Chains A and B, each alone.
Chain A
Amino acid sequence: MKIRTRLTWWYAGILIVSLLVMGVGTFREISEQLRHEHRNRAEGHALDEAGEMIFQIGLPAVVLGLLGGWWLTRRALAPVTKLTDAVEKIHEKNLSEKIPRTHNGDELDRLTEMFNAMTARLDDSFQRIREFTLHASHELKTPLTVLCGEIETALRDESHSPAERERLLSQLDEVRRLSKIVDGLTLLAKADAGQIALKLEPLRLDELLRDIFADAQILAEPHGVQVELITCEEISVRGDRHRLRQLLLNLADNAVKYNQPQGGIIMSLMKSGNMAQLTIANTGAGIPPEVLPRVFDRFFRGDPAHESTIEGCGLGLSIAQWIVSAHNGTIQIESEPSKLTTVTVRLPLDTSAKPA
Chain B
Amino acid sequence: MRVLVVEDEKKTASFVRKALQAESFAVDVMANGDDALHAATHTPFDAIVLDIMLPGRDGLSVLRQLRERKNTTPVLLLSARGEVNERVEGLNLGADDYLPKPFELAELVARVRALTRRGGENKPIVLCVADLTLDTITHKARRNETEIELTIREYRLLEFLMRSAGRPCGRMMILEKVWDYDFDPGTNLVDVYIRRLREKIDANFEPKLLHTVRGSGYVLKVTP
**Residues on A close to B: CB < 8 A?**
138, 141-142, 144-150, 152-153, 155-156, 169, 172, 175-176, 179-180, 182-183, 186, 190, 195-197, 199, 214-215, 218-219, 221-222, 242, 245-246, 249-250, 253, 312-313, 316
Contact = CB atoms under 8 A, between A and B. Distances in A.
A325 to B, nearest CB: 18
Interface string B171-199: 00000000001111111110011011000
Given A145-B101, A218-B189, A253-B186, A242 B181 contact: yes
7 contacts: A145-B102, A145-B103, A153-B18, A183-B184, A218-B189, A249-B181, A253-B185
B80 interface: yes
A312 B189 contact: no
**Which of B106, B186, B215 has the most chain A CB within a 10 Å cutoff?**
B186
Nearest to B7: A145
A138 B80 contact: yes
Given A146-B9, A149-B11, A169 B215 contact: yes
A40 to B, nearest CB: 106
Given A146-B9, A149-B105, A253-B187, A172 B15 contact: no
Contacts of B214: 169
A249 B104 contact: no
B216 to A, nearest CB: 8
Given A142-B80, A218-B193, A219-B187, A150 B19 contact: no
Contacts of B9: 142, 145-146
Contacts of A141: 80, 82, 101-102
Contacts of B106: 152
Contacts of A242: 84, 181-183
B16 interface: yes
A240 to B, nearest CB: 9
B83 interface: yes
B151 interface: yes
Contacts of B41: none
A312 B186 contact: yes
A149 B80 contact: no
B153 interface: yes
B81 interface: yes
Given A155-B215, A214-B151, A219 B186 contact: no
B12 interface: yes
Nearest to B186: A180
B215 A172 contact: yes
Nearest to B10: A146
Contacts of B137: none
A186 B185 contact: no
A211 B66 CA distance: 39
Given A218-B189, A221-B192, A144 B102 contact: yes
Contacts of A221: 192, 196
A153 B185 contact: no
Contacts of A176: 104
A330 to B, nearest CB: 23
Interface of B: 9, 11-12, 15-16, 18-19, 22, 80-85, 100-106, 151, 153, 181-189, 192-193, 195-196, 214-216
A150 B15 contact: yes
| Minimum-distance CB pairs A-B, first 6 | A144-B102, A149-B15, A152-B105, A145-B102, A141-B80, A146-B11
B121 to A, nearest CB: 26
Contacts of A145: 9, 12, 80, 101-103
A195 B84 CA distance: 11
Given A180-B184, A196-B83, 19 more contacts: A141-B101, A144-B102, A145-B80, A145-B101, A147-B102, A149-B105, A152-B19, A152-B215, A153-B105, A155-B215, A183-B82, A183-B100, A183-B183, A183-B184, A214-B151, A214-B153, A218-B153, A219-B188, A249-B181
A68 to B, nearest CB: 63
B85 A197 contact: yes
A245 B104 CA distance: 24
A93 B109 CA distance: 43
Contact of B12 (A146, A180, A182, A249): A146
B205 to A, nearest CB: 22
A186 B101 CA distance: 12
Contacts of B12: 142, 145-146, 149
A222 B19 contact: no
Contacts of A152: 15, 19, 104-106, 215-216
Contacts of B15: 146, 149-150, 152-153
A218 B214 CA distance: 22
A313 B186 contact: yes
A68 B95 CA distance: 76
B109 to A, nearest CB: 9
Given A142-B80, A156-B22, A190-B83, A149 B186 contact: no
A123 B184 CA distance: 32
A149 B101 CA distance: 11
A138 B104 contact: no
A179 B100 CA distance: 11
* Residue among A149, A172, A250 facing the most chain B CB atoms (10 A cut-off): A149
A148 B102 contact: yes
> Which of B85, B102, B182: most chain A CB closer than 10 A?
B102
